[in-house]
Chains A and B, each alone.
Chain A
Amino acid sequence: MVKNGLGMLLLALAAGSKLSWAGPQPPPLPAEHLTVATVGPKSPHWIYVVDYAYVNEIDSRVWLFDGDTYRRIGQIDTGFFPAVNLSPDGKTTAVATTYWSRGGHGTRTDVVELNDNNTLSKTGEIVIPPKHAQTLAMMFTLTYSADGKFVYVPYLTPAASFGVLDPAKKRVLNEIDTAGCTLTFPWGPNRVSSICESGRLLTVTLDSQGKETSRTTSDAFFNVDEDPVFAQAVPLPDGYAFVSFLGQVHEIDFRQPKPGIRTPWSLVSPAEKGAWRPGGVQIGALHRARNKLYVPMHKGGDGSHKEGGSEIWVFDLKSHQREARWPIDSYKAGTAISVQVSQDAAPLLFIATETSHLLILEALTGKLKHDEKNLGQTPQLLLNP
């Protein structure tokens, strides 16, 4: 505060000179109206990023992120160890998760929550038995039938089974025992396969009420002692590709009740085998129209199967030829643990890294378009509409 006379004089001069230079004052800002943002028209370049929030696991969430404007569109809350997937029509995000009545403790409730992707708000729920498989990021811990009429939720107590749910009527229809096999790989309107320690697939066919009508077991297509496959398979137009720790690609044709096993092929040359390996969490993504398979690859030994890729390798799924190797600046952004590619004609490759970056690349050239730092705490699963 100015107390002496000289100070008061200077202050008056300063105020007068300011008035004489500033001219007329601009009009005041108009009153603002509080609104709620809408999601806007759907874009193929949107990506749903499942953040498991390891440090506070009861508070995981899904971020909806726009790969063109590089901004967060909104969030869906997903509780503890969530299983997340989109409905076949892209309108709903379904989340199987766990809540406790007192925050981190108390009575456990498992529930499948249905969220409207136009508003990112919850529209309904189905309370399920308190035994949904609590595990890390997977595309197969909650799945839809191709027509969207059934939702399948793997249970683990540790006995393995899965629940069949009706998302329209919001009720649990049935529980199917899977004899130790686990996860749900859906096919068509009414078939579900689970993967077994024996290297086989157990496939259950359901009737219109979600009850089992038959089951088959495939031939073994991998040996868990010699070269396990990642359970995080890559969806194909006619089935799924299971990639092994050493880089063998086992393409399985799901169009028949007993899945057909194709001759496996390798991501690596004989010289590279055992040195270069696929690794991470979501270890492959396919651009279906162009038949391009993207895999995060790293140099490592046994036990390195969760290490992220220092490079993305691009393969032609028909010729099995490697077409590109794109290095990741892992010093700056961390290694690539999960990949997803948009399905449009100008596709984007989305990469979640071990240090919580989301990288956005041109999927045809590998050119880095954007590096979004700190997209959540531990983003691990990438789903696209």
Chain B
Amino acid sequence: MKTLDRLFENGARSLAKRTSRRSLLACLGQVLTGAALMPLLPIDRTARAQEPVHPTPAEQKCDYWKYCAIDGFLCACCGGSSTACPPGTQPSPITWIGTCHNPADGRDYIVSYNDCCGKVSCGDCFCDRNERETPMYRLSRNNDVNWCMANADSNYHCSVSVILGVAEK
């Protein structure tokens, strides 16, 4: 037990040397921010999206700021919106992630590009933008693979872009 006590004491002292109270507050802030973002996670949001949607004209255009690394058909042109899959499709639980700049508020946002699955290609509003997109060997940033791959019905229909939170500088 003495050995364990000494181990934890040394660890605590080492941590205290390397960190300040301010950094502790910053860390706590990050945790709280993260907790606040939890309700924005895509699975939570899609679970509640059982209602008609009314996409804005901006959401139906490829140059919309949230679409900075999207590659596919915009669900906003296919019966959904930038955050809702069209009726009868299922969102992909796995996604690729992008960071897009919102010119309206000057912030960078982390967005999740989920595919909507289970029907053949929508075929409308094809959009291919690739900011910070990487090839398949960095899969989490790749927009070429079919992200419906893990769905029970893995056909690809269209893509959405869902804000996860503000990107840390």
Instruction: With A58-B120, A105-B118 as known contacts, state yes or no: A231 contacts B149, CB within 8 Å.
Output: no
Q: Are A81 and B146 in contact (CB under 8 A)?
A: yes
Q: Are A305 and B133 in contact (CB under 8 A)?
A: yes
Q: Are A80 and B155 in contact (CB under 8 A)?
A: yes
Please, how many residues of chain A have a CB less than 8 angstroms from a CB on the other chain? 38
Q: Are A195 and B137 in contact (CB under 8 A)?
A: yes
Does A230 reach chain B (CB closer than 8 Å)? yes
Instruction: With A57-B121, A105-B119 as known contacts, state yes or no: A158 contacts B135, CB within 8 Å.
Output: no
Does A256 reach chain B (CB closer than 8 Å)? no
- Residues of B close to A81: CB separation below 8 A: 146, 156
**How far in angstroms is the closest Cβ of chain B from A331?**
20
Does B63 reach chain A (CB closer than 8 Å)? no
Q: Are A303 and B138 in contact (CB under 8 A)?
A: no
Instruction: With A55-B121, A58-B120 as known contacts, state yes or no: A197 contacts B153, CB within 8 Å.
Output: no
CA distance A228 to B130 in the complex (A): 13
Q: Are A157 and B155 in contact (CB under 8 A)?
A: no
CA distance A157 to B121 in the complex (A): 21
Q: Type the 1/0 row for B130-150, where 1 means its CB is closer than 8 Å to any CB of A.
A: 111111111100001110011
Of A57, A135, A224, which is within 8 A of B144 by CB?
A: A135
> How many A-B Cβ pairs are below 8 Å?
92
Please, how many residues of chain B have a CB less than 8 angstroms from a CB on the other chain? 30
Q: Are B123 and A55 in contact (CB under 8 A)?
A: yes
List B104-124 residues whose CB lies under 8 Å from chain A.
Answer: 118-121, 123
Of A104, A131, A231, which is within 8 A of B120 by CB?
A: A104
Q: Are A230 and B135 in contact (CB under 8 A)?
A: yes
Instruction: With A54-B121, A157-B149 as known contacts, state yes or no: A228 contacts B129, CB within 8 Å.
Output: no
Instruction: With A100-B155, A182-B136 as known contacts, state yes or no: A57 contacts B120, CB within 8 Å.
Output: yes
CA distance A230 to B142 in the complex (A): 12
- Residues of B close to A320: CB separation below 8 A: none
**How far in angstroms is the closest Cβ of chain B from A238?**
22
Q: Are B129 and A303 in contact (CB under 8 A)?
A: yes
List A274-309 residues whose CB lies under 8 Å from chain B.
Answer: 302-306
Does A181 reach chain B (CB closer than 8 Å)? yes
Give me the interface of B with A, judged by CB distance under 8 Å. Answer: 68-69, 94, 118-121, 123, 126, 128-139, 144-146, 149-150, 153-156
**Given A134-B146, A135-B145, A306-B128, 8 other A-B residues pairs in contact with their CB atoms under 8 A:** A55-B121, A56-B121, A58-B155, A156-B139, A158-B150, A228-B134, A231-B136, A303-B133
